[in-house]
Amino acid sequence: MDLKLLGANLGLEKSEFIELVELFLRTARQDLQKLTAAYQSGDFEAVAESAHSLKGSSGNLGFIELSVLSKNAEDKGRKNDLSDFAQLIDSIHQQIGKIQECFEQSI
């Protein structure tokens, strides 16, 4: 994942994009915590809302894999279907970790 390229695709300098990614990572971790808590409590609406937030922010920054996973989580929440959801949360967590690693290598 090339943060410089992703930033350029948005018309941003690398330093500007890095600032956005830093903010994204803080909010993504919070969204993941909310998503996990909603899943554990069986709150389908909160699952969909948390996943929707993560889907939008990741998609806006070009983190497509994370956005797709988040859309899947949102859809499952809206359909009241949390089967295999633990695996989905794990995949979302891994994608956030990959973004974190790229961020750390870029600063």
Q: Per CATH, which fold does 15-106 belong to?
A: Four Helix Bundle (Hemerythrin (Met), subunit A) (1.20.120)
What's the confidence (pLDDT) of residue 1?
79
pLDDT tens-place string over residues 49-100: 999 999 999 999 999 999 999 999 999 999 999 999 999 999 999 999 999 9
Q: For 13-82, give the DSSP string.
A: -HHHHHHHHHHHHHHHHHHHHHHHHHHHHT-HHHHHHHHHHHHHHHHHHT-HHHHHHHHHHHHHHHTT--
Q: Which residue has the higher pLDDT, 8 or 88?
A: 88
Q: What is the predicted pLDDT for the residue at 31?
A: 94
Q: What are 57-71's pLDDT values in tens digits?
A: 999 999 999 999 999
pTM exceeds 0.85, yes or no: yes
User: What residue spans define the domains of the chain?
Assistant: 15-106
